[in-house]
């Protein structure tokens, strides 16, 4: 059978897939140069918004049959009906994808294991005191409806036709949010991304990339070696190139060094700069010598038939990374939730702020300076310009639906409730640092996946599971 298709089907066994959120509605593990808290390396993979795989028509509920317990998870039962209901969804999804259908008993076993893992996580979440207010469930409802191009009422009408009640759907939403918050708390702190990790990722990307898809700008010093040069002449030329490399590495201006040492035309004309061009328009020696090195790196002397070369990586458009992106300039007000302020109360307070701003009775920046509990409060909530993937799903989704000047409805993240205003939107070219930050985000997402798998295995290993009669 097609294992990839089978894996895709198993990914839909849970009725929805919520990606991790992060502190203050922004991705964790870093701060902006301005010191605003909650900002970090952007992700190259845009974070998914809360989403649900809606049941296919006619498979919202499994046919009723004699129900019985098929497993016990830390004293909590898993029933045959639970497994049959989830199994029907998985089979319908596989059929829709056109994949080969695995043996039913094997798929049922995988469904059971997924349910067991979910129950273990939910038990852990509740024991840890993690809660999800009704307002967060309502926000998730709206997100699911929006993703499926429906209103909330249309969503529930569709679910009712497929045998799923509003209460059951909201319970699944709440459970998924509980699991999400548990994963965020338990897994994200485990993940660290070093500069070495990013360098390795970029090297691997560049090795497998089409040379015409990657652009680089190199600084170049050429010390010519005459044809049929004697060993003494070669040694003298190598020493000259080494002096040039040493000066550059010591911090001297590359253009000045190129003008002093280079025998190439661009040394005098352009300070040694060869210009941004596709990698396949550079000599293979130059590309291989600088492959994977960060901007600012110095290479050489390296030998070619022409002589000795000293190279500097001046600029690089990383393969697989967009050259331009649409950036958002936003500001927000954050209210942290806890024993003193529930999510419901925070939403009500921010809704009042929004009403006052829209009525012209209050200034957004003034409210942010007075009330926001984010590091951006001193700047009136201003978050500056942001690339796609910088914020967590809730924040991204809110920004994507706004026009410049508009203010969002209050939105919930695991660290509080936000009111967001989009100030401006523009298309901009990514800087070298931003491209590297996007690569860092991609590495982080991969590490998060690996850390989650390890954590889930550890959690499952500590659970007591008793298998009873197999699902039927």
Hey, how many other C-beta atoms are within 10 angstroms of the C-beta on 355?
A: 12
**3-state secondary structure at position 249:** helix
State the first-to-last Cα distance of the chain, in angstroms, to the nearest integer.
22
Give the pLDDT confidence score for residue 423 in this predicted structure.
95
Round to whole Å and give the CA distance between 305 and 86: 67
Cis peptide before 301, with omega less than 30 degrees from 0?
A: yes
In sign, the C-alpha dihedral spanning 169, 172, 174, 180 is negative
Separation between Cα atoms, residue 22 and residue 452, nearest integer Å: 15
Element (H, E) at 218: strand 215-224
pLDDT at 45: 28
Strand partners for 315: 217
Residues 6+ apart with CB under 8 A from 348: none
What is the C-alpha separation between 230 and 241, in angstroms, rounded? Answer: 17
Q: Where in the chain is the domain with CATH 1.10.4030.10?
A: 3-194+447-467
pLDDT score at 290? 85
CA 288 to CA 398: how far, in whole Å? Answer: 43
Instruction: Check residue 354 and give its pLDDT.
Output: 95
For the chain, residues with pLDDT lower than 70 are 1-66, 99, 206-213, 267, 318-323
Task: With CA atoms as reference, report the closest residue to 452 among 188, 110, 115.
Answer: 188
Distance CA 258, CA 228 (A): 25
CB atoms within 10 A of CB 181: 21
Which among 334, 448, 319, 340 has a CA at the least distance from the CA of 380? 334
CA gap 285, 307 in Å, rounded: 12
What single DSSP character describes residue 103?
P
Round to whole Å and give the CA distance between 300 and 262.
Answer: 13
For the chain, give the longest Cα–Cα distance: 94
- Closest of 400, 420, 402 to residue 410, by C-alpha: 420
d(CA 247, CA 462): 59
Tell me which fold the domain 210-317 belongs to: Chitinase A; domain 3 (3.10.50)
Angle, in degrees to the nearest 10, between helices 343-358 and 134-147: 60
Q: What is the DSSP string of 266-288?
A: HHHHSTTB--SEEGGGS-HHHHH
C-alpha distances out from residue 106 to 7, 124, 129, 381, Å: 13, 27, 35, 52
Cβ(361)–Cβ(443) below 8 Å: no
How many Å apart are CA 147 and CA 49, to the nearest integer?
A: 8
Arch. (CATH architecture) of 324-429: Roll (3.10)
Distance from C-alpha of 347 to C-alpha of 354, rounded to nearest angstrom = 10
Confidence (pTM): 0.62
Short-list 271, 261, 274, CA closest to 224: 261
Contact call for residues 353 and 368 (beta carbons, < 8 A): no
Exposed / middle / buried, residue 447 (Cβ in 10 Å: 0-12, 13-18, 19+): middle
Q: Are 72 and 468 in contact (CB under 8 A)?
A: yes
Q: Which residues make up the CATH 3.10.50.40 domain(s) of the chain?
A: 210-317, 324-429
Contact 355, 455 (CB under 8 A): no
CATH of domain 3-194+447-467: 1.10.4030.10
Q: In this structure, what DSSP letter does residue 56 have?
A: P
Characterize the bridge pairing of strands 76-79 and 416-429.
unpaired
Helices (H), 228-319: 231-249, 254-261, 265-269, 284-290
Helix (H, G, I), strand (E, B) or coil at 35: coil
């Amino acid at each position: 059978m097609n294992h990839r298709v089978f894996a895709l089907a198993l990914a839909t066994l849970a009725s929805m897939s919520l990606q991790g959120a992060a502190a203050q509605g922004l991705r964790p593990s870093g701060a902006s140069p301005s010191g605003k808290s909650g900002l970090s390396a952007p992700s190259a993979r845009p974070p998914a918004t809360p989403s649900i795989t809606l049941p296919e028509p006619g498979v919202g509920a499994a046919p009723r049959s004699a129900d019985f317990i098929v497993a016990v998870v830390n004293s909590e039962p898993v029933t045959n009906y639970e497994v049959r209901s989830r199994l029907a969804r998985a089979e319908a999804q596989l059929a829709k994808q056109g994949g080969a259908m695995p043996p039913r008993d094997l798929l049922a076993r995988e469904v059971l294991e997924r349910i067991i893992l979910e129950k273990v996580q939910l038990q852990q979440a509740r024991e840890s005191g993690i809660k999800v207010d009704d307002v967060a469930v309502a926000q998730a409802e709206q997100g699911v409806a929006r993703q499926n191009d429906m209103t909330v009422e249309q969503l529930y009408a569709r679910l009712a036709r497929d045998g799923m009640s509003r209460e059951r759907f909201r319970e699944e939403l709440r459970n998924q949010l509980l699991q999400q918050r548990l994963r965020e708390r338990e897994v994200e702190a485990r993940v660290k991304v070093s500069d070495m990790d990013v360098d390795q990722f970029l090297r691997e990307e560049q090795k497998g990339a089409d040379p015409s898809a990657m652009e680089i700008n190199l600084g170049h010093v050429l010390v010519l070696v005459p044809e049929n040069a004697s060993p003494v002449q070669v040694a003298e030329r190598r020493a000259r190139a080494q002096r040039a490399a040493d000066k550059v590495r010591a911090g001297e201006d590359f253009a000045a060094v190129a003008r002093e040492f280079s025998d190439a035309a661009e040394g005098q004309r352009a300070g040694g700069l060869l210009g941004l061009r596709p990698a396949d328009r550079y000599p293979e020696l130059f590309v291989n010598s600088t492959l994977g090195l960060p901007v600012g790196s110095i290479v050489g002397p390296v030998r070619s038939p022409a002589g000795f070369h000293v190279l500097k990586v001046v600029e690089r458009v990383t393969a697989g990374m967009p050259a331009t992106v649409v950036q958002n300039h936003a500001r927000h007000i954050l209210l942290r939730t806890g024993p003193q302020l529930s999510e419901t109360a925070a939403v009500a307070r921010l809704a009042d702020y929004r009403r006052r701003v829209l009525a012209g009775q209050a200034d957004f920046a003034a409210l942010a300076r007075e009330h926001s509990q984010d590091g951006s409060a001193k700047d009136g909530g201003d978050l500056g310009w942001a690339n796609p993937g910088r914020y967590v799903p809730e924040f991204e989704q809110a920004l994507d639906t706004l026009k410049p000047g508009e203010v969002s409805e209050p939105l919930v993240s695991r660290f509080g409730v936000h009111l967001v205003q989009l100030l401006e939107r523009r298309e901009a070219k990514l800087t070298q640092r931003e491209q590297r930050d996007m690569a860092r985000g991609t590495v982080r997402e991969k590490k998060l996946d690996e850390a989650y798998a390890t954590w889930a295995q550890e959690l499952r290993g500590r659970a007591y599971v008793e298998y009873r009669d197999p699902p039927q």
